[in-house]
């Protein structure tokens, strides 16, 4: 039996698919966690962290009041390895001062989308040069809304928009 060209192509793709998936899941990137909240809607982040594929955690700055602007970079804590896997999940608990309400939650993140966005990077509109995202921003808003963005320089790309339930 001799394979025809279309069968050969499919066979090669199937052979290479596990290798490419394994490589992308183990990629490490230089990124920092940070937080944001709308200017007029301050929150206090009680606890927040990204969970990586291996279930290790990367802390998101917490313990202080935030109202730095929706999607803006907030505090940055530089700890641990400079390069790390992209987050697979988010664990958060925050307090909304406007609503006098706590919002806890555990959320899976769209890792495939995040990996594609971070791998592609972006073109700096001022210089025309290729750039990389270097922060993952978590935004906390009234009503229990959470946004997760990849951010680099002035470019912000939404990765997920989530909703927490109050307690």
**85-95 confidence digits (pLDDT tens):** 999 999 999 99
Q: What is the pLDDT of residue 140?
A: 98
The structure tokens listed for 141 are 């808003």
Burial (CB count within 10 angstroms: exposed 0-12, middle 13-18, buried 19+), residue 60 = buried
- The whole-number pLDDT of residue 8 equals 53
Reported pTM: 0.83
| Residue 20: band (very low, low, confident or very high) from pLDDT cuts 50, 70, 90 | very low
Q: Can you name the residues that pair with 62 across neighbouring β-strands?
A: none
Mean pLDDT estimate for the chain: 88
Q: Which residues contact 108 (CB under 8 A, 6 or more apart)?
A: 88, 89
Instruction: Count the residues in the chain.
Output: 167
Residues of the chain above pLDDT 90, percent: 76
Please classify residue 103 by burial: count the beta carbons closer than 10 Å to its beta carbon, then call 0-12 exposed, 13-18 middle and 19+ buried. Answer: buried
Q: What is the CA radius of gyration of the chain?
A: 19
Per-residue model confidence as pLDDT tens digits over 54-87: 889 999 999 999 999 999 999 988 877 889 999 9
Rounded distance, CA 147 to CA 128, Å?
27
CA distances from 163 to 2, 26, 35, 76, 145 (A): 54, 29, 16, 24, 5
Q: State how far the Cα of 152 lies from the Cα of 141, in Å rounded to an integer.
A: 22
Give the pair of three-digit tokens for residue 79.
């700890």
């Amino acid at each position: 039996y001799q394979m025809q060209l279309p069968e050969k192509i499919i066979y090669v793709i199937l052979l290479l698919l596990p290798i490419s998936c394994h490589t992308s899941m183990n990629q490490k990137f230089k990124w920092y966690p940070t937080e944001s909240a709308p200017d007029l809607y301050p929150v206090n982040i009680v606890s927040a962290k990204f969970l990586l594929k291996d279930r290790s955690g990367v802390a998101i700055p917490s313990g202080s009041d935030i109202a730095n602007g929706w999607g803006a970079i907030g505090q940055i804590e530089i700890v641990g390895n400079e390069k790390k896997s992209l987050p697979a999940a988010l664990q958060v608990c925050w307090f909304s001062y406007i609503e006098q309400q706590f919002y806890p939650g555990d959320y899976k993140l769209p890792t495939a989308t995040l990996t594609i966005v971070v791998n592609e990077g972006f073109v700096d509109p001022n210089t025309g040069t290729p750039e990389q995202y270097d922060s993952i921003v978590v935004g906390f808003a009234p009503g229990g809304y959470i946004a997760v963005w990849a951010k680099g320089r002035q470019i912000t790309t939404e990765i997920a928009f989530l909703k927490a339930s109050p307690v």
